[in-house]
Amino acid sequence: MRILSFNRRFLIAALAAAVAAPLIAAEQVDVAIVVRPDLPIDNLTFAELRRVMRGDRQFWTSNLRVTLLVRAPVARERDIVLKTIYEMSEAQFRQYWIAKVFRAEAAAGPRIVYSNEMSAELVAAMPGAIAVVDASQVPKGLKVLRIDGHLPGEKGYPLR
Amino acid sequence: MLGLVLLAAVPVSGLAQANDPATKELIEKLLARIDSLEKRVNQLEQANPSARAATTPAPAAMVALPATQAHAHDQAPTPTVAAAEAAQPTYPLLKISGFSDFDFSAVNLHGAPAGPFGAQTLLTTHSGFQEGQFVLHFSSALSQKVTAFGELSLTARADAGTGSPAAPGFNTEVERVIIRYDWNDYAKFSFGRYHTPINYWNTAFHHGQWLQTTISRPEMIQFGGSFLPVHFVGGLFEGAVPAGHLNLNYNVGIGNGRGQAISRAGDAGDINNNRAWLINGFIKPDALYGLQIGGSVYRDAINNTAGLAAREWIESAHLIWQKESPEFLAEFANVHHQPSNGGVVSNSQAFYIQSAYRLPGVAKAWKPYFRWEQIHVPRSDAIFRTVVPVFSAATGGIRYDITSFAAFKIEYRNYWRRDLPSFHGIFTQTSFTF
C-alpha cells in the first residue's frame, strides 16, 4: 500500500516535471528559521541565532535542549547558513564541529537533513529542534522565528 | 520517467565529488530544480486534495506561501512514523573519532640532548621519522542532561623492547575522562580528568594535532612539559552567561593539582592535603565575532620528587582571533613559587604569539604561519630550573589541507637557549582525523 502510494506520488511528480519543469526557474529567496509552535520564543537577535547555531547556546529552557538540523552539503540553505551565520567555508564548518565535540563542549554535531520535507518532519517530531528551510516552502504548522524582528522577505532580514 | 530517475540519481553520486566546482554547480542546479519540482507537486496536490489523501502516512505539508508570512499555528504538523522514530533519542549514544599523525624531524643538535623539552616537541638527537600519537575520542550522551567524554592516547616509547621485562612499544594514557551534568547553559557540573582550563591552547586543541595549525604545541603547554599543569583531576563548575553582549564563559574548579612529578596530575590521589583550585573566565563579544579574551588564576601546593615544597600561583591571559584570515593567538602565563621553607620567591614567565593566514581563492588549502615563543625561569626557581627549558624560539611554516580531514605541515624552527648553543631544525607532519 505504501509502495503504491509512493508510486502515485512519483507519477504525479514525473508528470509535474514533464509539464512544469521548463517553466520553473530556481527562485533565490530568503531562508527561514523554523521551530515547533510550542517553543516559547518568537524572535532571536542575529547574535542569539549565531550562538544557537554554533552550539554555544544549547538550551532553550532548562528542560528543553536545542537540536540543530542542518542541510547536507551543496544545499542552498546550508550555503546561506555557513556564509551568513558561521562565516565559514565548508571545510572550516566541518573542522569547527569536530573540534567542538573534541573539546567536550557538545556531545554531537548538528543532525544532517537532506530535504526541506525531512527538516519539517524532524522539527515537528523533536521538541527543541531548529531548522533552516527555503522561505518559499515553509512547512505548514511550524513557527518561523523573527530574526532581529524581521521575517523572511522583509527589509533587514539577514539570512539571504 | 527514466530521465527523472537518472536526474535524481546524479546528486546522490555527486555528493562524493562535491569538492569539484563543476560538479558542485551541477548538483546545486539539480537540487534547485528538485526543490522547485517538489514545490510544484505540492501545489498540484493542494489543488487536488484527493491525490494527497491517498498518500499515507503524509509528511508535513510543504506549501508555497508568501515569504513574509509568519506561521504560528496551535499544533505542529503530524510527523510521519519514520520521522517520529528517528527523532527519538537513544541512550547511551556513543560516538568515536580518531586522530593521529606521522612526523619527520631533522635538528642540528649533533647528538647532544636538547634539554628539558617535552618529547612531543620532536627535538630528537637523530633525524628521522616518528609515529605521533594515536588518539581515540569518545563522546556519549547518557541522557538529555548527562554526557560522558573520554580521550585515550597511545604514544610510541623510545625505550621499547629494552629493560627487563621489556618495555612495551606504546604508552597508553587516559588523557581525559569526564562526566558532566548540564543543568542549563549557565551551569554545568562535571567530574573527571581534564586538560587544565587555564590555557587556551590546552582546551582548544587537546591531542588532535590535525586541529592545530602548527606541528607542535607551544612549549609552555607542551604534553610532558612542566611549566603549566596540563592535566587536572577533580571537579569543574562551568557555564556561559550573555553578560550584555559580551558572552562571559567561566570555569571554577577544585582538584588534586600536580603530582610528585610536576608534569603529571595527581591521578591516583593528591600528594598533600592542599587541593588545587582554579578560576577561568573569558568573553566572546557579539560585536567582534571571532574574538576571545580571557584570563585565569590557579593555586596549588607542590611537593616534587626532589623533596622541594612550595606554594604555586599561576596567572595567565589570552587574546585570540579565531578566524583563519587572519588567525591570531597570544598567551602569557606567570608562575609564582614561594618555597615552604622560606627560600627565595621566584616568578617564571612564558608567552607565545602566533599568527596565520588562510590564503584566498584557489590557494585556500594553504595556510602559512609564524610563532614566537619564550620561557624565562630565574635561576632562583628551584622547582623549575631543571625541568623547564629556558629559551626563545621562532617557528615559520605552512600548512596544506590535503582534504577536509587531513593536513600536511612543514616548518622551520630556530631555538636560542640560555647558557647553551642555539640550534635549528626542519619538521614535517601529516596529521588527520578519522
Please give the mean pLDDT across all residues of chain B. Answer: 86
Residue of B nearest to A100 (CA): B204
pLDDT score at B42: 67
Amino acid at position B103, single letter: D
Q: Which residues pair with A33 in a beta bridge?
A: A132
Contacts of B45 in chain A (CB under 8 A): 12
Q: Kindly state whether residue A1 falls inside one of the protein's structural domains.
A: no
Whether the predicted pLDDT of B194 surpasses 90:
yes
Name which of B221, B222, B229, B219 is nearest B395 in CA terms: B219
> pLDDT grade, residue B24 (50/70/90)?
low
Alpha carbon of A143: minimum distance to chain B alpha carbons (Å)? 5
Whether the predicted pLDDT of A152 surpasses 90:
yes
Looking at the complex, does the CB of residue B418 fall below 8 Å from at least one CB of chain A?
no
pLDDT score at B69: 40
pLDDT score at B342: 87
Residues B371, B266 share a domain: yes
Contacts of A89 in chain B (CB under 8 A): 364
Would you state the cell numbers that stand for residue B104, as one nine-digit string?
619527520
pLDDT score at B120: 85
CA distance B83 to B45: 21
> pLDDT grade, residue B7 (50/70/90)?
very low
Q: What is the pLDDT of residues B364-385, one digit of tens each?
A: 999 999 999 999 999 999 999 9
Contact criterion met (CB < 8 Å) for A120 and B1: no
Contacts of A152 in chain B (CB under 8 A): 67-68
Q: What is the 3-state secondary structure (H, E, C) of chain A?
A: CHHHHHHHHHHHHHHHHHHHHHHCCCCCCCEEEEECCCCCCCEECHHHHHHHHCCCCCEEECCEECEEEEECCCCHHHHHHHHHHHCCCHHHHHHHHHHHHHCCCCCCCCEEECCHHHHHHHHHHCCCEEEEEEHHHCECCCEECEECCECCCCCCCCCC
Looking at the complex, does the CB of residue B364 fall below 8 Å from at least one CB of chain A?
yes
Contacts of B433 in chain A (CB under 8 A): 98
Contacts 24+ apart (CB under 8 A), B337-340: B337/B302, B337/B310, B337/B311, B337/B312, B337/B381, B337/B382, B337/B383, B337/B384, B338/B310, B338/B311, B338/B312, B338/B313, B339/B308, B339/B309, B339/B310, B339/B382, B340/B301, B340/B309, B340/B310, B340/B311
Residues B410, B301 share a domain: yes
Q: Which residue has the higher pLDDT, B63 or B206?
A: B206
Q: Kindly state whether residue A152 falls inside one of the protein's structural domains.
A: no
- Which of B59, B86, B113 corresponds to the end of one domain? B86
Name which of B38, B31, B81, B33 is nearest B56 in CA terms: B81
Residues B257, B377 share a domain: yes
Looking at the complex, does the CB of residue B241 fall below 8 Å from at least one CB of chain A?
no
Query: Domain limits at A111?
Result: 30-147
Contacts of A50 in chain B (CB under 8 A): 286, 289
- Which of B32, B54, B86 corresponds to the end of one domain? B86
- Which of B65, B86, B107 corresponds to the end of one domain? B86
Whether the predicted pLDDT of A2 surpasses 80:
no
Whether the predicted pLDDT of B84 surpasses 80:
no
Whether the predicted pLDDT of B239 surpasses 50:
yes
State the Rg of chain B over Cα. Answer: 27
- In this structure, are residues A46 and A147 in contact, taking their beta carbons and an 8 Å threshold? yes
CA B3-B22-A27 angle, 5° bins: 65
CA distance B10 to B37: 16
pLDDT score at B81: 66
Most B CBs within 10 A among A74, A114, A126, hence the mutation to make, goes to A74
Contact criterion met (CB < 8 Å) for B204 and A103: yes
Contact criterion met (CB < 8 Å) for A140 and B44: no
Contact criterion met (CB < 8 Å) for B184 and A101: no
pTM of the entire predicted model = 0.82
Residue of B nearest to A3 (CA): B55
> pLDDT grade, residue A124 (50/70/90)?
very high
Contact criterion met (CB < 8 Å) for A16 and B203: no
Average pLDDT of the residues in B341-348 = 92
Count the domains in chain B.
Answer: 2
Residue of B nearest to A128 (CA): B87
Q: Kindly state whether residue A160 falls inside one of the protein's structural domains.
A: no
Whether the predicted pLDDT of B204 surpasses 60:
yes
Residues B210, B65 share a domain: no
CB pairs under 8 A between A and B: 240
Q: What is the 3-state secondary structure (H, E, C) of chain B?
A: CHHHHHHHHHHHHHHHHCCCHHHHHHHHHHHHHHHHHHHHHHHHHHHCHHHHHCCCCCCCCECCCCCCCCCCCCCCCCCCHHHHHHHCCCCCEEEEEEEEEEEEEEECCCCCCCCCCCHHHCCCCCCEEEEEEEEEEEEEECCCCEEEEEEEEEEECCCCCCCCCCCCCEEEEEEEEEEEEECCCCCEEEEEEEECCCCHHHHHCCCCCCCCCCCCCCHHHCCCCCCCCCEEEEEEEEEEECCCCCCEEEEEEEECCECCCCCCECCCCCCCCCCEEEEEEEECCHHHCCEEEEEEEEEEEEECCCCCEEEEEEEEEEEEECCCCCEEEEEEEEEEEEECCCCCCEEEEEEEEEEECCCCHHHCCEEEEEEEEEEECCCCCCCCCCCCCCEEEEEEEEEEEEECCEEEEEEEEEEEECCEEEEEEEEEEEEEEC
Ramachandran class of A64: left when φ > 0, alpha when ψ lies in -120 to 50, beta otherwise = beta
Least confident of B80-89, B131-140, B304-313: B80-89
Query: Domain limits at B230?
Result: 177-433
Alpha carbon of B303: minimum distance to chain A alpha carbons (Å)? 30
> pLDDT grade, residue B228 (50/70/90)?
very high
Average pLDDT of the residues in A130-152 = 93
pLDDT score at B429: 98
Would you state the cell numbers that stand for residue A142, as one nine-digit string?
511550524
Contact criterion met (CB < 8 Å) for A76 and B289: no
Q: What is the ipTM of this complex?
A: 0.81
Residue of B nearest to A155 (CA): B68
> pLDDT grade, residue B83 (50/70/90)?
low
Count the domains in chain A.
Answer: 1
Contact criterion met (CB < 8 Å) for B79 and A124: yes
> pLDDT grade, residue B77 (50/70/90)?
low
Alpha carbon of A65: minimum distance to chain B alpha carbons (Å)? 7
Contact criterion met (CB < 8 Å) for B286 and A47: yes
Contact criterion met (CB < 8 Å) for A21 and B36: yes
pLDDT score at A4: 44
Q: Kindly state whether residue B122 falls inside one of the protein's structural domains.
A: no
CA B5, chain centre distance (Å): 43
Average pLDDT of the residues in B92-101 = 94
Residues B217, B78 share a domain: no
Looking at the complex, does the CB of residue B177 fall below 8 Å from at least one CB of chain A?
no
The minimal CB distance from A108 to the residues B73, B75, B139 is found for B139
The minimal CB distance from A142 to the residues B54, B76, B433 is found for B76
CA distance B418 to B184: 49
Average pLDDT of the residues in B255-269 = 92
Q: Which residue has the higher pLDDT, A24 or B349?
A: B349
Q: Kindly state whether residue A11 falls inside one of the protein's structural domains.
A: no
Cis peptide before B326 (omega within 30 of 0): yes
Please give the mean pLDDT across all residues of chain A. Answer: 86
Amino acid at position A131, single letter: A
Alpha carbon of A85: minimum distance to chain B alpha carbons (Å)? 10
Whether the predicted pLDDT of B64 surpasses 70:
no
Most A CBs within 10 A among B1, B44, B56, B71, hence the mutation to make, goes to B71
Whether the predicted pLDDT of B320 surpasses 70:
yes
Grid-cell match 610563532, residue found: B371
Grid-cell match 612550595, residue found: B310
Share of chain B above pLDDT 90, in %: 69
Q: What is the pLDDT of residues A15-60, one digit of tens each?
A: 444 444 444 444 568 999 999 999 999 999 999 999 999 999 999 9
Whether the predicted pLDDT of B6 surpasses 60:
no
Amino acid at position A156, single letter: G
Task: Please report, for the domain that includes residue A35, its CATH number.
Answer: 3.40.190.10
Average pLDDT of the residues in B322-343 = 95
pLDDT score at B341: 86
Looking at the complex, does the CB of residue B90 fall below 8 Å from at least one CB of chain A?
no
CA distance A75 to B67: 19
Task: Please report, for the domain that includes residue B387, its CATH number.
Answer: 2.40.160.10
The minimal CB distance from B54 to the residues A5, A13, A20 is found for A5
The minimal CB distance from A121 to the residues B39, B42, B79 is found for B79
Q: Kindly state whether residue B109 falls inside one of the protein's structural domains.
A: no
